[in-house]
Amino acid sequence: MRLKRVIIPLFLIASVAPALAGPWMRVEGETFLSYSIETDLENGISDGSGFYGSLYAEHGLTKRLTVGLDAGGHEDDISKAIAFLRWPVGAADRKLRVSAEFGLGMTREDFALRPGISVGRGLELGDIPGWVSVDSRAVIIGSFDGVLETDITFGLSPSPEAKIILQLQTGIPTQSDPYAKLAPSYVRRIAPGRHIEVGLVAGVAEADDFKLKLGLWHQF
């Protein structure tokens, strides 16, 4: 079955806190799910060839341990499925939060390890609360293949119902040139624990694609 036939129904019927990982732990017993679709505006809407679907999940196993799943793929194959653990580094009550992460799973049909580290803190822009975070991960595939990924995220919450997010997504693959993408989005609460996200993904370096992103977040 083509992946888009699974992801699209989930997106339509699925029911948030930022979906972006960052260094923050999930509250013990709390679960977060995010479903999203990215589509190539030039080709994806007309023939489905530009769809990329993703599923992201986190669960607070304990106060200091979050477990999760990061999976995604194009319309006819799954390109990654990584299960991970995240735990805080240092005191959990300081302003600058740091966490470590370790994941393992499959990417491009190969076994992969994904260690990572995240740093972030809350901030205020005038009277508007927000946050900034840097998430770095090394996706290790075999002995001589992989990619170093770093996402820099800046977010603001102008109201309890809305969030504005700007993310710079970068990668340094071992087998190709470094790339960078800019991903702005707007998140709106539609019900308690449920948000909808609308955004764009635009290539900046070694990535000339321009995609529309639609997502749903569900926290319970």
Say if CB 165 and CB 199 are below 8 A apart: yes
Contact by Cβ (8 Å): 183, 171: no
Sign of CA dihedral 126, 158, 182, 148: positive
Q: How far apart are CA 118 and CA 116, in angstroms?
A: 7
pLDDT in tens, 111-124: 999 999 999 999 99
The CATH architecture annotation of domain 3-219 reads Beta Barrel (2.40)
Tens of pLDDT along 152-169?
999 999 999 999 999 999
**Local confidence band at 55 (pLDDT 50, 70, 90 cut-offs):** very high
155 close to 147: Cβ distance less than 8 angstroms: no
Residue tagged 């694609």 (tokens): 209
Burial string for 43-62 (b: 16+ CB within 10 Å, else e) reads ebeeebebbbbbbbbbbbbe
pLDDT digits (tens, 9 = 90+) for 57-77: 999 999 999 999 999 887 667
State phi, psi for 81 to the nearest 5 degrees.
-155, 100
Domain boundaries, the chain: 3-219
Specify the length of the chain in residues: 220
